[in-house]
Amino acid sequence: MTAAATPIGEYVMWGATGQAVVLDEFLRRQGGRLSALFDSDPNVPPPFPNVPVWHGREGFLRWLAERGRADSPKFCVAIGGEHGRARAELGTFLLESGLCALAAIHPQAIVASDALCGRGVQVLAGAIIGARAVVGDWCILNTAASADHESRLGTGVHLAPGARLAGLVTVEDYAFIGTGAVVLPRLTIGRGAIVGAGSVVTHDVPPGTVVCGNPARHLRQAQL
> Helix, strand, coil shares of the chain as percentages rounded to 5?
15, 30, 55
Above 80 in pLDDT, residue 69? no
Check whether the bond before 215 is cis (ω within 30° of 0).
yes
Question: In sequence order, what DSSP letters do the residues of 98-120 get, joined into one string?
Answer: T-EE--EE-TT-EE-TT-EE-TT
pLDDT tens per residue, range 135-171: 999 999 999 999 999 999 999 999 999 999 999 999 9
Above 80 in pLDDT, residue 91? yes
With residue 64 as reference, give the H or E element that holds it.
helix 56-67
Q: Looking at this protein, which amino acid is placed at residue 94? A: L
- What 191-200 contacts at long range (C-beta under 8 Å, 24+ apart), as own/partner pairs, is 191/154, 191/224, 192/85, 192/222, 192/223, 192/224, 193/222, 194/82, 194/222, 195/163, 197/160
Above 60 in pLDDT, residue 5? no
What residue spans define the domains of the chain? Answer: 9-102, 105-213
Q: Is 158 a catalytic residue?
A: no
**What is the β-pairing status of strands 110-111 and 32-39?**
unpaired
Q: Is the CB of residue 88 less than 8 Å from the CB of residue 153?
A: no
At residue 224, the pLDDT reads 60
Above 50 in pLDDT, residue 2? no
With residue 85 as reference, give the H or E element that holds it.
helix 84-96
Nearest residue to 110 (alpha-carbon basis) of 133, 130, 128, 89? 128
How far apart CA 92 and CA 216 sit, in angstroms, is 33
Residue range 105-213, CATH number? 2.160.10.10
Q: Quote the pTM value.
A: 0.92
Residue range 9-102, CATH number? 3.40.50.20
Q: Is the CB of residue 213 less than 8 Å from the CB of residue 205?
A: no
Q: Which of 55, 83, 106, 149 is catalytic?
A: 149
Residues 6+ away with beta carbon under 8 Å from 223: 192, 208
pLDDT tens per residue, range 16-35: 999 999 999 999 999 999 99
